[in-house]
Structure 1
Amino acid sequence: MSDEHDYGEPSGTRMRLPDADPYGGARRPGRSSSRSLVTVVGVVVLLIAAIAFANRGGDDSDSPAARTGTDKPETATTAASGTKPVETKSAGIPSGFARDGQGAQSAAANYCVVLGSAEMFNGTRRHEIVNAVYAPDVAAARQSALDTAYSNATFLSNIGLDKDGTAPDGQNFVSRVIPVGTKVTAVSANDATVEVWYTSLFGLSGEASTNPVSESWYTTTYRLEWVNDDWKVTDFQQKDGPVPVGRDQKASTADDMTKAVEEYGGFTYAR
């Protein structure tokens, strides 16, 4: 998939293959009928609570603003900052981030997206990405390791790609990272540590696919350094999760998934 998913070690690649037709409308195991009852009761309880709150009037003694001593994030934490997004790009990747915690978060989120993209499977594009994202003193070493990983025939075969990293005829290769949130754990004028929590879509969409598009959840911690007037990656660590409980939803057909991939472009996260 990408540098973000430990493909530097092909032998450690984890596959989740379907037990049945991957695009045949398979559903997750059925839940007991008690779940429906619990859901209905929960909705009723929430409705009653909402009515009671509305009738309480202007008593805001228990509102977040009235409480103190809490470390929980408030709405303002994720509100628009008012700072204009960056307008410059390097190799098509947002660049020129602010030299502060917000800029480090934006850089980490954008780098996470591109390092987890299908573009990493193209040699020329991969070199451009690595040179744009990594600090110069580590880019060369990362480049060599990634070239070895992404050209491994066994690895490519295991994920359903041809030896040149392309999808078979009639199938679309999907590799996308969607950041859910970021957190700065350390920042100074020259260094920053940022955690990015994200979901990943990966697989092949198509009727003949044996590796259908599935989702995974990870948190990657980036070490960033201020180099040449921008944040650059010097190191990273990835771990699984946090993983939410999956909903009991019907899997989309191969045609629907392919259409979605072709029609919906990805986002950048320069804020």
Structure 2
Amino acid sequence: MGTWRNLERDLEDMREYYRHGKAKEASWRKSQLKGLLTLLKEKEGDIFKALKHYLGKHHVEAFRDEDRDSYWKMMHKYIGSDITSMVTLPVIIFEPMTMLQKMAELMEYSYLLDRADECEDPYIWLVYASLWAISVYFAYQRTWKPFNPILGETYEMANHGGISFNSEQVSHHPPMSAGHAENEHFTYDVTSKLKTKFLGNSLDVFPLGRMRVTLKKDGVVLDLVPPPTKVNNLIFGSTWVDSPGEMIMTNLTTGDKVVLFFQPCGWFGYSTYL
């Protein structure tokens, strides 16, 4: 029962956020949150199936029909441009967290890095580290955008399974964040910088930052280059996210590398994430 009380509390926090944010468009979200809570209670024996069933029937569309035309008129002049820090966006497309907080989501499955550090085989280091790098894509079912942090803003996640994570917004134009995580097995350092290309009803996102992991036992340094991301159906249709291309994990100590190819989803590919 404690799990459900926590879920109810979190959902109420979100409802309060949208009420005080004065976003009229949030009314549909409140009803969907209530529907999700009811569905989860009915199917609490299998939470994953409940979420899959719900998301399959209620894939989110960001805009009401009456808002689409006005937003399109505002945005069409930016087609082909980098809109990282030049466009004011409607609050309805945001989730109540900042990019600094979202950066910490990569620590959810950090036990995979612990296992990598415990291994003797250098190839198994890369296997576990690559699994860890892929794990963040579980969050792609959430297609809302986090808020941009203000310059100098910080975020701290303390004692998450023995991990401390700290991040800071170090540049405003262009937006750039830096983060550091550490436990007894590894250190993780990231500089997050993005370049975007607005294509009308979609947005290409190119990561330009750097991600490095150091396994403490052997001093192994791993470098991660993630694939680009494409956000589809920004204005018209149900929004979904794809990451076609290569993810490269390189062992800078030995020169070994893993190259993972993410197959494009196709026209109706958003169901891949459900």
User: What interval of TM-score do these two structures reach, taking the shorter chain for normalisation?
Assistant: under 0.3
TM-score using structure 2 length? 0.23
Q: Larger % of strand: which? A: 2
Q: Larger % of helix: which? A: 2
TM-score using structure 1 length? 0.23
The structure showing larger relative contact order (alpha-carbon pairs under 8 Å, at least 6 residues apart) is: 1
Larger Rg: 1
